[in-house]
Amino acid sequence: MFANVMVVFEVFREMAKNAAMGIPAVRDARVARQRTALPLDASHLDRYAFPLLDLVTTHVGSVIGKTILEIGPGDNLASGLAFLAAGAKSYSALDRFPGPYASELSRRWYRLVEQTWSLKYPHLKWPAYLDANRFPNYPEVTTFPISAENFNQTARYDVVCSFAVGEHVSDIHAFAALNRRALSESGVGLHVVDFGGHQWDRPEDPYLFLRFPVSVWRAMGSNRGFPNRIRFHEYLDAFAQSGLSVDVVDRRAFKTVGRRPPAWVTRLPEESGSIQEATFVVRRPR
Ligand SMILES: C[S@@+](CC[C@H](N)C(=O)[O-])C[C@H]1O[C@@H](n2cnc3c(N)ncnc32)[C@H](O)[C@@H]1O
């Protein structure tokens, strides 16, 4: 009983937050603040600064001389600094809710990236031109305050990548089409999608989001980039339908098994109920 009351309370609270984010002034004030309240500590860099560089290097190859487009970098551009430090030619980023990329707090993260670089990547010399105190004010860096769904630049990139963003876009067909349009002929897209519980963090239930009626889910998150509830196999379909080849180079399963989807969810492939995180690599057809 108490648990049910708490869920209803939580739902109403989320609806109120979503309604507030529909007001432009509230939205602007909210995104100007750091979203993740992480203590500034080098132990977080493997999660928040280096994962895309590491994944792209592992699954695609060296980024030296490459042009990079990241979708949804989050509060700061530490991942972009890492790409440039590793030799990328340019770094561009688009985000529906762009962070305060040149704030003092962001720059503290950039300084931490620079300070830890030689330990983390002893074989990669930090470029002389790159200064964490000045980043991201470089001609090599471009940012677009726009959602993936509305991004219509004509530039092509060698790498299009994202980490924990695909599950937030409201239209994954537009997300897939962006990859198709923005990738150069030999370009590669790499996207890590997190199908887990996010702020509800109930990792034992892979179907948590699907237990809410669509209308309630939208009322809680439409203005906030809430997880979209789209499942693993639908990403495969969206990439394939946009004419891209797709490989899943890594997948992590939910820890618990045996939970059943809600009765109204039919024809959900088994793997879509068991995969908590997947890394998709997409390419244009040759
Ligand atoms: C969970 S955060 C991940 C941030 C960062 N990539 C990381 O790994 O910490 C999701 C990011 O995607 C952005 N985002 C959400 N929906 C988006 C959309 N439709 N188009 C572009 N960016 C979006 C958010 O503003 C946020 O910066």
> Is residue 30 a part of any domain in this protein?
no
Residue 27 lies in a domain: no
Band (273; pLDDT cuts 50, 70, 90): confident
Q: Is residue 28 part of a domain?
A: no
Alpha carbon separation from 13 to 4, 18, 103, 134, 221 (Å, rounded): 14, 9, 30, 40, 11
Q: Measure 163 CA to ligand 1 centroid, in angstroms.
A: 8
**228 C-alpha vs ligand 1 centroid, how far in Å?**
12
Closest by Cα among 80, 235, 257, 89 to 168: 235
Contact predicate 160/179, CB 8 Å: yes
Q: How far apart are CA 24 and CA 178, in angstroms?
A: 26
pLDDT score recorded for residue 257: 67
- Quick one: which of 259, 282, 194 has its CA closest to 232? 194
Place of tokens 């590491």: 54
Q: What pLDDT score does 201 carry?
A: 61
Is the C-beta atom of 71 inside 6 A of ligand 1? yes
Q: What CATH number is given to the structural domain containing 82?
A: 3.40.50.150
Q: What is the rounded distance in angstroms from the CA atom of residue 36 to the CA atom of residue 150? A: 25
**Candidates 168, 169, 171: which one to mutate for ligand 1, based on the most atoms within 8 Å of Cβ?**
168
Q: What's the pLDDT band for 31 if we cut at 50, 70, 90?
A: low
Q: For residue 29, is it within any domain?
A: no
Is the minimum distance from the CB of 191 to ligand 1 under 6 angstroms? Answer: no
Specify if 215 maps to a domain.
Answer: no
Q: Which atom of ligand 1 has the smallest separation from the CA of 98?
A: 25
* pLDDT at residue 280 is higher than 80: yes
* Interacting residues of 136 by C-beta distance below 8 A, sequence separation 6+: 77, 80, 81, 101, 102, 143
Q: What is the pLDDT of residue 202?
A: 67
Contact 87, 124 (CB under 8 A): yes
Highest mean pLDDT among 9-18, 67-76, 202-211 belongs to 67-76
Residue pair 275/251 in contact by the 8 Å Cβ criterion? yes
CA gap 240, 276 in Å, rounded: 21
What range does the domain containing 99 cover? 43-195+231-283
Handedness of CA 166, 170, 172, 174 (dihedral sign): negative
Q: Is residue 209 part of a domain?
A: no
Predicted TM-score (pTM) of this structure:
0.90
Q: How far is 134 from 174, CA to CA, in rounded Å?
A: 34
pLDDT band of 48, cuts 50, 70, 90: very high
pLDDT in tens, 97-140: 999 999 999 999 999 999 999 999 999 999 999 999 999 999 99
Nearest to 277 by CA among 243, 244, 246, 254: 254
Number of structural domains in the chain: 1
Burial status of residue 239 (CB atoms within 10 A of its CB: 0-12, 13-18, 19 or more):
buried
Asked if residue 212 is part of any domain, the answer here is no
Q: 244-256, pLDDT tens digit by residue?
A: 999 999 999 887 7
